[in-house]
Structure 1
């Protein structure tokens, strides 16, 4: 009987969702709104003949929809595009998220909501909807416009910052408060985890996926990819982070494979089915009476979203050097909230820290702003022309002069080449240090799980810790050597640039040499502190550690060429993954 009720509930959800989305498609409105309305129709707060027997089962299926939705967003996320989005997207995204987070919090406090409710409201309002924006720009045939490319860059950075926000909100919800030091520590741990996951994942996962794609049918590839997705989500949840983070990260990693187009094609139908259930489940949580009761807050929040995002995004893009017309078009294109807002709202409910009214308010605001999005995009160009004609000529002259000045201070020629070299060396040092820390963290995790508590040691934990630390150090040697070499090259370049030949006279060469040595020594000192702090579980006593370090130095000297070759192969593998040629059907966000 239970199985029959499940089939009946699933059939009800899919039939009502299908009917409403056909209607919305005919009306040329986003089908997401149709899914949400379908949820309201079959939800427990609507007195109708259509109802769901087991809401918990539908919500469990909606969790799968959330995972697959974020996995698909990760597939469309491109690390190469992240490197190319430029300063305008970064400045605009940071301005938007910080100011909207503050604005949402202040609105919540104005209505006397709790601090946690206000904070979650600010987080919901700070992230725009990738799905809705892509749909609107595609319908209006504007995807290849210059302002649309800036929007894509902002959406990429927003997706990353949304994951950071969710991790911080989880920490705040679990402790009830998060001091500045704890916040920095949480962000640091999350950044380290994401960096290590990306680097290690990029070395392995794309090659495995491409091999499976070459030798297998679509159904086998689908099962393998979904196995990777759910397996990584399980790992992330055991590390104390949300499955949403895991789904997005593994999607970004799989998205760097050359078979990503094929994966998107075969995952698409599964994602569409379960994401439909996800949005229907969102609608089921909406009580129409609550919407009527909170009509005034919904109105205020909607106005805040539209005006706040237009102003903050336009300001950020303009400050970064874009002209006023482009800045306004970007701001009006981002004036809505969507899927990440729903995920953040679901997080608050699952953690039992937000009030019941917050979720339907967020959904109602999303529905209204989603409906307004295409009209705002259409109105952006006429509005920019109207403002250009109506604003005082002196003010428009100042704006134009600022834009020209920002364009003139960018690096060009030899300066651009030098900055590119410095950035590359800095990234190489950081990535190799992250890999070293990752190896020690993995060994510390295995030690805590008892993998080094062998019978031969007779319960002597000191020996077990020493063995775990020694293995971690041995595995890390290629990355340590690489970090030192890159830091040494960076030090030499910085010394050459920062100390002109006229400084120091005959001692100029010695001064440069001293500065050049300080950079790699500082990098090694930072690495040692990170390892000591984050892998303290397996840190042996000082005397033992000193002996092991000396042994490591001797091994490094003896095996220098071998270690350099090993790292060169790892680096080449990572570069091949990131610099691969895009498929013929060029990736759009």
Structure 2
């Protein structure tokens, strides 16, 4: 009976996700917000709470994040990663300053104390690698020039979590400085080791994994990815970072074959991840904290857009790509919930959990929309402002002359030199 109920529940979820994905595809927008709303409907306090299949959905959600980051890693080589990290580390510092401080200030203004401030700073700081990976694939932007900048920011955040999570765990548990330092050293050592292996022995790993039989290739790559991700997580490093570095280590025909084989599995389990996120959100807990969560969401959405714009501009990306980079980074997700969950378990502040959930839910729904529409909206207002400036300046011919000057600065400067006294 339990088995039959599980099949019915899980089958209904998958069928519903397929229909929602088809609906979103018809109107050309990301299905992620619909998946989240479906999770709310099936979760605690929703219209039809699940029972038998919830544990399987939780495991599927973890696999979904791992596959999303593995597939992103397959798009880039280890040398690309190191080069981007070397050039983009200032963007990581800007990202921390612009996005962690609003969370810390909000906690202090609410009177929650310094430990809660450190926790909420982490919640507002880190973007969702899982959501953003899905959005980049949905919008066909994996090969865009701004995408390496986005990935550099995400990887810097994920690697920073290898430092942040042990620190916050120690603060919440009240352990000694020595114990906290030991945990932190292990986390940093594991992250560095995995990165070193990916860089130095990537070709050896690719040869080991390579196979002409798709079945064997699928099993070896999937098994290796889950194994590395699990070991990384056990040693206080993000499972997502482990999966991403496995993807980085694979190259050539192996990477191409793996991408083809795992794409359907990635899409399936990624959808399950977003449903699972909604399942663990009680709709009744959201209204009391909705206003502060909304204010914080608006503020940090703007700071993320500013972060992405600045990072892309620094990398020499065009104006449109800068706005796309900023809009894509808005979504928060899995790390924010993990951080808030640690604080709730430790009993730091009862309202912190619902506030973080409402905040993440807002931005995980808004994030795919800002990724899609930030650049067109910014372009509209820029054009309108430029048009208004031309009208204010007088005749249409003056506006046309200004455009000609902008398009041909060399000729314009020469002309200006002739008319100046």
TM-score, structure 2 normalization: 0.76
Measured after TM superposition, the shift of residue 271 of structure 1 is 1.9
Aligned to 2:276: 281
Aligned to 1:271: 266
Counterpart for residue 17 of structure 2: 17
Secondary structure at 1:163 match in 2: helix
Could you tell me whether the CA contact under 8 Å between 1:45 and 1:287 is conserved in 2? yes
Which of 368, 371, 374 in structure 1 is aligned with 2:372? 374
Shift of 1:262: 0.8
Q: Is the 8 A contact 1:164 1:187 kept in 2?
A: no
Alignment of 1:451-466 (within 5 A): none
Match in the other structure for 2:125: 126
CA offsets 1:87-121 (integer angstroms, 9 cap, x no match): 77443332123321112221233233465554344
Partner of 1:223: 219
Instruction: Measure how far apart 1:278 and its partner are.
Output: 1.3
Match status 1:236 vs 2:226: no
Per-residue CA deviations over 1:128-150 (Å, capped at 9, x if unaligned) read: 45676677678878777xxx524
User: Residue 328 and residue 77 in structure 1: after superposition, are their counterparts in 2 closer, same or farther (change >3 A)?
Assistant: closer
Shift of the 181–314 alpha-carbon distance from structure 1 to 2, 3 Å rule, reads farther
Q: 1:114 to 1:39 in 2, by over 3 A?
A: farther
2:232, 2:242 within 8 Å by CA — same for their partners in 1?
Answer: yes
Would the alpha carbon gap of residues 163 and 378 (structure 1) be closer, same or farther in structure 2, given more than 3 Å must change?
A: same
For residues 27 and 113 of structure 2, the distance between their equivalents in structure 1, rounded to whole angstroms, comes to 39
Separation in structure 1 between the aligned mates of residue 87 and residue 198 of structure 2, nearest angstrom = 29
For 2:245 and 2:126, the matched residues in 1 are separated by 18
> Paired residue for 1:308, among 303, 307, 326?
303
Distance 1:200 1:324 in 2: 34
Partner Cα separation in structure 2 for residue 192 and residue 387 of structure 1 = 51
Closer, same or farther in 2 for the Cα pair 1:390/1:90, shift >3 Å? farther
**CA displacement, residues 315-360 of structure 1 (integer Å, 9 cap, x when unaligned):** 5556x4859946963664345114xx32341354268347431224
Q: Deviations over 1:277-321 (max 9, x none)?
A: 111110111222223222212321221123212334445556x48
Contact (CA 8 Å) 1:70, 1:244: kept in 2 or not?
A: yes
Q: Which has the higher contact order (CA 8 A, sep 6+)?
A: 2
Residues matched between the structures, number: 382
In the alignment, is the contact (CA less than 8 A) between 1:89 and 1:317 conserved in 2? no
Match of 1:294, SS state, is: helix
Partner of 1:197: 194
Aligned to 1:213: 210
- Cα distance between partner residues in 1 of 2:75 and 2:323: 23
Cα distance change of structure 1 residues 26 and 321 upon mapping to structure 2, 3 Å threshold? closer
Question: Residue in 2 aligned with 1:342?
Answer: 334
Counterparts in 2 of 1:420-439, with a 5 A limit?
none
Match of 2:154 in 1: 158
In structure 1, distance between residues paired with 2:288 and 2:176: 35
Instruction: Assess, with a 3 A threshold, how the Cα gap between structure 1 residues 82 and 251 changes in structure 2: closer, same or farther.
Output: closer
| Alignment root-mean-square deviation, CA | 3.7
Instruction: State the distance in 2 between where 1:322 and 1:308 align.
Output: 20
Q: Show CA shifts across 1:458-497 (max 9, x none).
A: xxxxxxxxxxxxxxxxxxxxxxxxxxxxxxxxxxxxxxxx
Deviation at 1:203, TM superposition (A): 4.4
d(CA) in 2 for partners of 1:300, 1:260: 43
Partner of 1:570: none
Q: Given the alignment of the two structures, is residue 56 of structure 1 paired with residue 55 of structure 2, yes or no?
A: yes
1:66 CA drift (Å)? 2.6
Pairing of 1:177-188 with structure 2 (within 5 A): none
Any idea what the Cα deviations from partners look like across 1:540-561, whole Å, max 9, x if unmatched?
xxxxxxxxxxxxxxxxxxxxxx
Q: Can you list the C-alpha shifts for 1:357-376, whole angstroms capped at 9, x where unaligned?
A: 12243122221233233221
Consecutive unaligned residues of structure 2, counting only runs of 5 or more, are 390-421
Distance 1:142 1:70 in 2: 15
Report if the CA contact (8 A) 1:298-1:365 is conserved.
no
Aligned residue in 1 for 2:5: 5
| 8 Å Cα contact 1:168-1:183 kept in structure 2 | no
Q: In structure 2, do the counterparts of structure 1 residues 88 and 243 end up closer, same or farther at CA, with 3 Å as the change threshold?
A: closer
CA distance in 1, matches of 2:369, 2:138: 13
Provide the TM-score with structure 1 as the length reference.
Answer: 0.56
Deviation at 1:207, TM superposition (A): 2.8
Cα distance change, pair 249–86 in 1 and its aligned pair in 2 (3 A): closer
Pairing 1:274-423 to 2, within 5 Å after superposition = 274-315=269-310, 320=314, 325=319, 329=323, 332-334=326-328, 336-338=330-332, 341-346=333-338, 348-349=340-341, 352-353=345-346, 355-357=352-354, 358-384=356-382
Question: Cα deviations across residues 432-474 of structure 1 (Å, max 9, x unaligned)?
Answer: xxxxxxxxxxxxxxxxxxxxxxxxxxxxxxxxxxxxxxxxxxx
Structure 1, unaligned runs of 5 or more? 392-589
CA distance in 2, matches of 1:54, 1:107: 37
Asked which structure has the greater CA Rg, the reply is 1
Q: Pairwise mapping of residues 136-155 of structure 1 onto structure 2 (< 5 A)?
A: 149-155=145-151
Q: Structure 1 residues 65, 323: closer, same or farther in 2, change over 3 A?
A: closer
